[in-house]
Chains A and B, each alone.
Chain A
Amino acid sequence: MKRKCETCSHHNCFINKYCSDEWKPLITFHKSTMDYPAGATIFSEGDTVKGIYQIYSGKIKVVASSNGEKERIVRLAKEEQILGHRGLGGKMIYPVTAITLEKSQVTFIPIDIFYNALKANSELAFHMLMFYADELKASEKRMKMLASMNAKEKIAVSIMNIVNAFGFDPNDTNLLSFTPTRKDIASIAGTTYETVIRVLGDLEKNNIIAQEGKAIRVKDLDYLKALCEMN
């Protein structure tokens, strides 16, 4: 059954938040919703952009791979967020691949409907613009980080990225609500798997974090924040 935008409870979704009540039924009419298992590809680098995606539930990593090089995670996204905005502009070809980290439900809005919605809802256009501005800044910050930070700082930034993207467990205030695999953490930090293991071990020894199996618990958030701001 199709979920309706006009009665949706996701109040942080851009469509829900910034489109007029007249527009929501129109978007409901044109959108399509798909379910993906964990590890599924939503769109791939090189695909033509046909629309924009909105995450209804689940968690997703956005990956860039330069020819033959190891993959880099450029963004982590969760429910209520937009997906595939990097494809807009230029030649309308995705420069990145989106892969689910867990079971996810994703809504697709065709590009012409999205463009019309932007033109008809000035608040939507305004907030999309500010969203892009933030993404641009985050992206250039990441470039600086890859060039100038040491391994420990990179891992600290990556943990903070995960905190900012997915937050803490609601029932356990310093346990990450979702911990990506150690390999994925390496892709976020732009370092190797071995380095991630080593640095996480060091941080654990100094009582900054604790590793509980796959999950990571942050014990000293201020220390991590301070490490991030050294550059």
Chain B
Amino acid sequence: MDCRNCSNTKCFIQKHCLSTWLEYTQHHKITKQISATKTIFTEGDLVTGIHVLCSGKVKVLLKTSKEKEHIIRIAGQGQVLGHRGFSEKMIYPISAETLIESEVAYISNEDFFKLIRANKDLSFYMMMFFADELLRSEQKLRVHALKTSKEKVASALLMVVSAFGFKDEKTKHIDLGLSLRELANFATISYPTLLKVLDILLQEEVIGNIDNELCLLNETALINISTKEN
């Protein structure tokens, strides 16, 4: 995609940078088309720049032990990737993998810092973004231990909706992107438990199942379930 006349209104670079700087970004970014289930960067890699997801869907993984991987974030169109690597050591604490074919733009650290310093809206946005991420990350830790599996599924589904949105705004088909096993991982419950809970939600008509795809029937109910205990 071309930053100078990009149609992606969700992109934070597009939203918060001046037009002269969008031109600069266009000249200096490196765009890659990456097919599904490929690694974008790996835990332990040196952070040399920041990634912006132009299109597609990505999962962010944290290794909790040798075999286990935990999906800690899912990112959709226009979102930043790899911000967890930004700190003194500049080493990725997480890995990122595509869920579907994605277009990823890479901006080097040097250029990104220039962008941040020159575009005050961008620096303000990035700061608030980090503030949100910190809040979410700590809330997840605190609340999770106490949550029931139903609450976990409800909040995982809401996170999917906020990251990927709907396939169709009218029918409220959730643009899931994840397999059900991955959804179970993201919600930190087992696969059989996920199936059981989805069944309950279907019966309560909070979600629906049309042509084997999930759709959201009652968003308020889902929000209520997810926030019951926090």
Contact = CB atoms under 8 A, between A and B. Distances in A.
Interface of A: 64, 66-67, 74, 85-86, 88-90, 95, 115, 118-120, 122-123, 125-126, 128-130, 132-137, 139-141, 143-144, 147-148
A19 B208 CA distance: 53
Contacts of B129: 89
Given A86-B135, A125-B116, A125-B127, 5 more contacts: A122-B116, A125-B124, A126-B117, A132-B131, A133-B84
Contacts of A143: 137, 141
Interface in B52-102: 62, 64-65, 83-84, 86-88, 93
Enumerate the 4 nearest inter-chain pairs by beta-carbon distance, A residue then B residue, closest first: A89-B131, A132-B130, A125-B123, A89-B132
B28 interface: no
**Which label, helix, strand, loop or mixed, suits the secondary structure of the B interface?**
helix
Interface residues of B, number: 37
**Which label, helix, strand, loop or mixed, suits the secondary structure of the A interface?**
helix
Contacts of B127: 118, 125, 128-129, 132
Contacts of B121: 119
A122 B18 CA distance: 15
A144 B62 CA distance: 10
A98 B192 CA distance: 42
A50 B120 CA distance: 22
A149 B134 CA distance: 22
Contacts of A148: 64-65
B83 A133 contact: yes
B143 A74 contact: no
A133 B120 contact: no
Given A89-B132, A122-B118, A128-B127, A139 B113 contact: no
B64 A132 contact: no
B64 A147 contact: yes
Contacts of B229: 67
